[in-house]
Amino acid sequence: MLFDWLRKKKPEKKPLDPLAAFDQLIEDLERQGFEVRKSAATLLALKGDLARSEDRYVKRLQDLAKRRAVADEQGDVKIATTLERDRSQTEALLATTRESLNRAEQDSKLLLEAAADLGNRVAELRTERESASARLAVGGAVSTALREQVERFDKLLAVDAARDEIERAHALADIYREERGESSKEG
């Protein structure tokens, strides 16, 4: 309890850049794919060892059967009993080995399929990332162009506002001029 704060894993920061999110997911899937392929390779190596053990037990059973036949012919009950016990143990080992071999074969097949699926997913994500990158670049260019267009529009609006202000100033001046002209005519 005292050191629980040491064990707590810091939460992973979510990337702000959408492409970084793709990169992080691709990296995670590649790492997972590597681990799955490594496990599949281990099982394939185990399969080879188990196949050799299976062959060895089959040959041992054949040898024990021959030796048992000789012991039975000679009427040696003690040796026959010992050979029967060895045969029983070897058959048990052979059964266990075949069971392990079958399981290793199924598991390695499953892991190889998983690795292929992860590889396909990574390839799809890479393609999607490239497409997203292109869309972001185009989107950035469009945003820049729109921003420039908005800035030009704002400048045009400012110029129009200035023109309106100038026209108002002229109109106001005309109004004052007219008032002065009328007041000077009256006076």
- pLDDT, tens digit, for every residue of 123-157? 998 898 888 888 777 777 777 777 777 777 777 77
Q: What is the pLDDT of residues 11-64, one digit of tens each?
A: 555 556 778 888 898 899 999 999 999 999 999 899 999 999 999 999 999 999
Q: What percent of the chain lies above the pLDDT cut of 70?
A: 88
Distance between CA atoms of residues 162 and 17, nearest Å: 42
pTM over 0.85: no
Distance between CA atoms of residues 92 and 57, nearest Å: 10
Long-range contact pairs involving 17-20 (C-beta distance under 8 Å, separation at least 24): 18/132, 18/136, 19/129, 19/132, 19/133, 19/136
Are 121 and 29 contacting, i.e. CB atoms less than 8 angstroms apart? Answer: yes
